[in-house]
Amino acid sequence: MSIMKEFRAFAMRGNVVDLAVGVIIGAAFSKIVDSLVKDIIMPLVNLILGGSVDFSNKFLILRLPADYSGPMNYDALTKAGATVLGWGNFVTILINFILLAFVIFWMIKLMNRAKARFEREEHAAPAATPEDVVLLREIRDALTRQRLS
């Protein structure tokens, strides 16, 4: 039973729970960034370049099977056993990473700014000293002066 207690203590630590939450949110965020690239960024790139640019289907054929006569697209070639350098998929994933890093950078920057503002507000105006404390301090000071004289 001690192993189960140790495991429960380990699993319920704040760091492990925080990591689990981060992984779940990261997976969901990854889908958002994938959609951003596929549905928003790439159509804009296509519009700017004046044509249909689909990076996910860009590849370089290194070796074809001798008897291959099927379609010349990435999926069909890889299923047929051709050696294909799929650079377009890499470019798409690289764009996803850059966008994700950029968004995370701005999120952390905004969170740090909000945290700094909160800390400034927290430390800016110290609470006013209650009247009874002020009175007690005056009495203490008066008694100290009386003892010294």
Shared domain check, 123 and 62:
yes
Total tally of structural domains belonging to the chain: 2
Cα 60 from chain centre = 33
Give me the average pLDDT of each 10-residue run along the chain (149 residues): 81 77 86 82 80 76 89 88 89 80 84 86 75 90 87
Residues 131 and 81 in one domain: yes
Question: Going along 1-149, which residue ranges are E strands?
Answer: 60-63, 83-85
**Domain that includes residue 139, residue range:** 54-149
116 and 67, same structural domain? Answer: yes
Q: What pLDDT, on the 0 to 100 scale, is given for residue 52?
A: 66
Cα Rg of the chain (Å, integer): 32
For residue 55, what is the DSSP state? G
Q: One-letter amino acid identity for 128?
A: A
